[in-house]
Structure 1
């Protein structure tokens, strides 16, 4: 029979291993956001089941791996749209989204306006700002918190 403290030590050690794996998964998402990633592939890379990865990732970071991936893609998309040299379709595929519908829906949820409205409004808005300040000001809002901005007809 093992001591009660031993069982806690094993679970704490396992939690540390899981956190290290989750950091590697998050880092992979940050690096390879434009690649076709899915939860099953991420889980295989971390030697976890897809369900376990999703549950643990949500506990550690407050959102699912897919939601985190889409947030990274939308952050990159906002930067590309601010530059103004790519149209919305090109940006959609450049950040790794497979369909414009998913891209547009998720973009609107996080940013509060459609990609084309954002491009029209933000082109040149962050000009002259240091990159860290532009990123902080234009970072998407997570968990569907962005207010919907209605386009104004002039």
Structure 2
């Protein structure tokens, strides 16, 4: 979960990877870490979002998708519940502390790149033909 936090991860997939049933995995995970796998993953995603809000020149909606949330509303509510402030307020609080933001294009490339074009969707080949 720490390595794949940015993509959609199901408990059944993680449990199967660990060799457990989903129910046993959730019980064992909570006993070991004090939180469910879903809570752990949400916390890790928000931690990553905090880093991006402090360092990258990306919109909140872009950060929402990069850290693995499918809904901006869920992302903002979870962020506020964990940090006590909205993503925008968090960014405003941390800006201006002598740190230049990484341009969004570089941050997107580092985070996994831009969405790939469909086969044959290269703009240059369309213009040439």
TM-score, normalised with respect to structure 1: 0.61
The match for 1:113 among 85, 94, 97 is 85
Distance in 1 (alpha carbons) for counterparts of 2:35 and 2:98: 28
1:92-103 to 2 correspondences below 5 Å: 92-103=64-75
Distance in 2 (alpha carbons) for counterparts of 1:124 and 1:49: 48
Distance in 1 (alpha carbons) for counterparts of 2:68 and 2:42: 9
Pair member with larger Rg: 1
Distance in 2 (alpha carbons) for counterparts of 1:98 and 1:54: 22
Relative distance call for 1:99 and 1:126 in structure 2 (3 A) is farther
8 Å contact kept, 2:55–2:99: no
Relative distance call for 1:108 and 1:80 in structure 2 (3 A) is same
Distance in 1 (alpha carbons) for counterparts of 2:39 and 2:64: 16
Relative distance call for 1:45 and 1:89 in structure 2 (3 A) is same
- The runs of 5 or more residues in structure 1 that have no matched partner are 1-28, 129-154
Q: Give 1 or 2: higher helix fraction.
A: 1
**Which residue of structure 1 aligns with residue 6 of structure 2?**
34
Relative distance call for 1:46 and 1:75 in structure 2 (3 A) is same
Count how many residue pairs are aligned between Structure 1 and Structure 2: 100
Structure 1 residues 95-146: Cα deviation after superposition (integer angstroms, max 9, x where no partner): 1111111111110111000111111111244749xxxxxxxxxxxxxxxxxx
Structure 1 residues 3-34: Cα deviation after superposition (integer angstroms, max 9, x where no partner): xxxxxxxxxxxxxxxxxxxxxxxxxx111100
Relative distance call for 1:84 and 1:41 in structure 2 (3 A) is same
Distance in 2 (alpha carbons) for counterparts of 1:126 and 1:52: 48
Give the root-mean-square deviation of aligned CA atoms: 1.6
Q: Larger relative contact order (C-alpha < 8 A, sep ≥ 6)? A: 2
**Which residue of structure 1 aligns with residue 20 of structure 2?**
48
Structure 1 residues 64-84: Cα deviation after superposition (integer angstroms, max 9, x where no partner): 001110111000000100124
Give 4+ residue runs of structure 1 displaced > 4 Å after superposition: none
**Which residue of structure 1 aligns with residue 54 of structure 2?**
82
